[in-house]
Amino acid sequence: MKGIVLAGGTGSRLYPVTLGVSKQLLPIFDKPMIYYPISVLMLAGIREILIVSTPEDIDSYRNLLGEGEKFGVKFKYMVQPKPEGIAQVFLLARKFINNSSVCLILGDNVFYGNGLTKIITRSISNNIGATIFGSYVRDPERFGVAKFDKNGNLIRIVEKPNHAISNYAVTGMYIYDKNVVEIAEHLKPSSRGEFEITDINNIYHEKGILSFERLGRGIAWLDTGTPESLLNASNFVEAIETNQNQKIACLEEIALMNNWISREKLTDNIKKYAENAYKKYLVSVLDHEAIRN
């Protein structure tokens, strides 16, 4: 399984904030936004990750993340010349995918909750075709929405319906088998001029190989594309981290827990940080690991 993080787009809903910086580089409390989707892939055991962004912003992600060695992963980078839909990513990334299964996650999505990692790893292990994740929301018209029959079986996914057909929105995390590239190659642009991820999901559903996984009440899904949702996400992360004294999406900590980096490597990484709360937390991670061992 390979991973892709889509960190493109103009971030127009956040103007003027994003006129000079990529949206996924903005902070959610104490970490760049892109750390959160990367952390989900890492927790799922995915170590080959492609970062897709705009021509103007791709170098900023290289400067932030490097080649991935400090996190025990391998990052590659690819430019999306124009934002022409999520599904376009599979056409751009066909060489990276190279007959592998792939998990695509949007760079402005935050997932958090007890049991989330188990759900994703199970979905990866059991995936036959495609797996998508649904979350109960109050404003489904903003998203691709799941339509069910009277028995609760999925009928299809409808992109931004005018009328609420259910309250289950399709989140920005998708698991596909190697055939997703071939399916994407036969897509036609929608009326919006985009290659729609919803069309790919419906094709898998028509083939009978789409799994729809409902995320329960204990799992939070935050789409951080507006000023209000960005603030809410920061407040959410701050509350969790303060109350639990554990960080969300600390990539160095995940790498250490996965045994992808050594204590010595983490110690070297820590030396590169200035004296701040994040560095103090990483020092505490080392101390706790020493006690545990």
Confidence of residue 293 (pLDDT cuts 50, 70, 90): very low
102-130 confidence digits (pLDDT tens) = 999 999 999 999 899 999 999 999 999 99
Mean pLDDT of the chain: 93
33-44 confidence digits (pLDDT tens) = 999 999 999 999
160-173 confidence digits (pLDDT tens) = 888 878 999 999 99
205-250 confidence digits (pLDDT tens) = 999 999 999 998 889 999 888 899 999 999 999 999 999 999 999 9
Confidence of residue 288 (pLDDT cuts 50, 70, 90): confident
Which residues fall within 8 angstroms of residue 277, CB to CB, at 6 or more apart? Answer: 30
Please give the torsion angle defined by the CA atoms of residues 218, 286, 26 and 222, in that order, rounded to the nearest 10 degrees: 0
pLDDT of 277 strictly over 70: yes
Dihedral angle sign, alpha carbons of residues 90, 215, 246, 253: negative
CATH number for the domain running over 2-244 = 3.90.550.10
Confidence of residue 157 (pLDDT cuts 50, 70, 90): very high
181 vs 82 pLDDT, higher one: 181
Ordered by start, the domain boundaries in the chain are 2-244
pLDDT of 291 strictly over 70: no
- Amino acid 289: pLDDT: 62
